[in-house]
Structure 1
Amino acid sequence: MKKIYFLCTGNSCRSQMAEGYANVLLKRQYECRSAGVETHGLNSYAVEAMAEDGIDISQQKSTLIDPDYFNSADLIVTLCGDARDRCPVIPPQAQSIHWPLPDPAKATGTHEQKMTVFRQVRDEIKKLVAGLA
């Protein structure tokens, strides 16, 4: 089975949402994981936004890049410039894609204002992941 690795800075929002969608939309085609160049913990707004769309990511963990999985991946997707810039050298067998998405964790304001930003990023991620099918 082919492998996809979704990478962002802290593996707390964007890459977690991408993994959640990929595990539902691509599960027959790919093994899907996410990681970060750092770990920041799973963002509760990301969990809430995904739950609104019927995807439960509440049990996912914020993890660092696993060199073995990274080196065996068929597709590596970076979801922010920091991850793209700090990512290890892409292995020769892997294709890489960069999705320059805004960091929803930087959203400010009320709970609802933050959720609006998370929903926008979530919906874009869903479209991008669906496009990999």
Structure 2
Amino acid sequence: MKERVLFIGTNNAARTQMAEGYLRARYGDRYEVCSAGIAPTALDPMAVRVMAEIGIDISGQRAKDLGLFDGKEMDYVIALCSGGVCPMFPWAKETIRVDFPDPARVTGPKDRVLSAYRRSRDAIIDWIDGGIAKRKVAGATAQAR
């Protein structure tokens, strides 16, 4: 049986979508993965773009409201909310809080913004490959490169 993972964020637009797409593409044989937001907006086109750069298509994913998962048991709930905004989840066997920089907050020239999305993507990938994929998830904190 696959372990269930829910990535949560504020808008479920960029970081959570990249994490969902990567975990599914790379480790989908071991994990059933989804993502949701406290105040979902729309899938961020820049997140789609930077994931496509590494051969992962997340264009079919959509932002989902966290309420859709109320009471659904998860093995891991991974909160990617900035500043500890995300609530606790009693239905999760383990809740993990990881702080990745929000690329959507970066302003300026397109190259600068795109670079921020790539840094977030790469930090998420590094954390997944070195953390949940190896079952070393407790007390994790992410740092951007």
Q: Same fold (TM over 0.5)?
A: yes
Runs of 4+ residues deviating >4 angstroms: none
Structure 2 residue 57 is matched with structure 1 residue 35: no
Specify whether residues 119 and 30 from structure 1 end up closer, same or farther in structure 2 by C-alpha distance, changes over 3 A only. Answer: same
Number of the residue aligned with 1:72: 73
Number of the residue aligned with 2:26: 25
Contact 2:6–2:78, Cα closer than 8 Å, also in 1: yes
Structure 1 CA distance, aligned partners of 2:115 and 2:91? 39
Q: Which has the higher helix share?
A: 1
State the 1:37 CA deviation: 0.3
Q: Which runs of 5+ in 2 are unaligned?
A: 134-145
Contact 2:82–2:102, Cα closer than 8 Å, also in 1: no
Contact 2:6–2:33, Cα closer than 8 Å, also in 1: yes
Number of the residue aligned with 1:15: 16
State the 1:91 CA deviation: 2.1
Contact 1:3–1:32, Cα closer than 8 Å, also in 2: yes
Could you tell me the TM-score, scaled by structure 2's length? 0.83
Number of the residue aligned with 2:110: 111
Number of the residue aligned with 1:99: 98
Structure 1 CA distance, aligned partners of 2:4 and 2:39? 21
Q: Which runs of 5+ in 1 are unaligned?
A: none
Contact 2:74–2:91, Cα closer than 8 Å, also in 1: no
The CA RMSD measured in Å over matched residues stands at 1.5
Q: Secondary structure at the match of 2:19?
A: helix
Q: Secondary structure at the match of 1:101?
A: coil
Number of the residue aligned with 1:85: 85
